[in-house]
Amino acid sequence: MNPNSDLIEYLLRLGDSALIQGQRLCEWCGKAPALEEELALMNVGLDLVGQARNWLDYAAELLADGRDADHLAFRRDERAYRNLLLVEQPNGDYAVTIVKQFLFDAWHFQVLHALSDSSDARIAGIAAKALKEVTYHLRRSGEWVERLGDGTEESHRRMLAAIEQVWRFTVELAAGDELEQRLADAGVAAQPEAIASAWRAKVADTFARATLPVPAPASHFYLSGRRGVHSEHLGALLAEMQFLPRAYPDATW
């Protein structure tokens, strides 16, 4: 057994969540409601893909089995992915995309802020760099939540529907597990309860300003991205994302 197995799993969680969220955002290319928004979405998506590479590079080094970040991104099967359930959900209309992005950003910001002080220098460095990007991501998505939630009757209705659609997948944002707690106790990872508390506070504050109600905490869910038990949507996403590398495994630029 790899002595770094806990750390590798944690790095995969961070990398996979950023990668899949980035892939979802890039699906808006050519379809966004306005040119300015398309450019903004693509920039956020590219930021996340870049962050995913950093986390997966580190995981590949610790695995030391010949795989690199590209292999981890494009050659693993669905059950080997450790991303949050929230990020693999379809984009839906623009309200769904914004709600998903905000809920993820509010969690992502807190995680990276805590990891900037990790006892693992490599993690601290990656997190500090990513935090600069995610600070902007959170500000942007939070402003859109307020704009749409406290906007027209139609935009408010759509935001309510979007929250109802994706809220159940926030169960993973508001609770850690034993692996994360072990790493947190060692000073490597973020403390799960502290992250959950800060995430709930940010969501409550932003929703209040957007005149949106905060649903009751999501209850236990039979799926778990941490364990590789995903919704039906991840397989379809991976089929598209991985097609080229799998069809032409020896191709080089």
The predicted-structure confidence for 191-229, as pLDDT tens digits, reads as follows 999 999 999 999 999 999 999 999 998 887 788 999 999
Given this model, what pLDDT does residue 35 score?
82
Per-residue pLDDT for 2 more than 90?
A: no
Nearest by Cα to 92 from 150, 171, 146, 159: 159
pLDDT of residue 32: 76
Whole-structure pTM value = 0.95
Query: pLDDT at position 219, please?
Result: 80
Structural domains of the chain, ranges and CATH numbers in brackets: 5-247 (1.20.1260.10)
Mean pLDDT of 84-98: 96
Q: Give the residue among 110, 105, 70 at the shortest CA–CA distance from 87.
A: 105
Query: Across all residues in the chain, what is the average pLDDT?
Result: 94
Res 253 pLDDT > 70 = no
pLDDT digits (tens, 9 = 90+) for 128-177: 999 999 999 999 999 999 999 999 999 999 999 999 999 999 999 988 88
Report the candidate in 52, 26, 53 with the shortest Cα–Cα distance to residue 41: 26
Q: What pLDDT sits at residue 1?
A: 65
Q: Determine the Cα–Cα distance for residues 27 and 141; give it in Å rounded to an integer.
A: 17
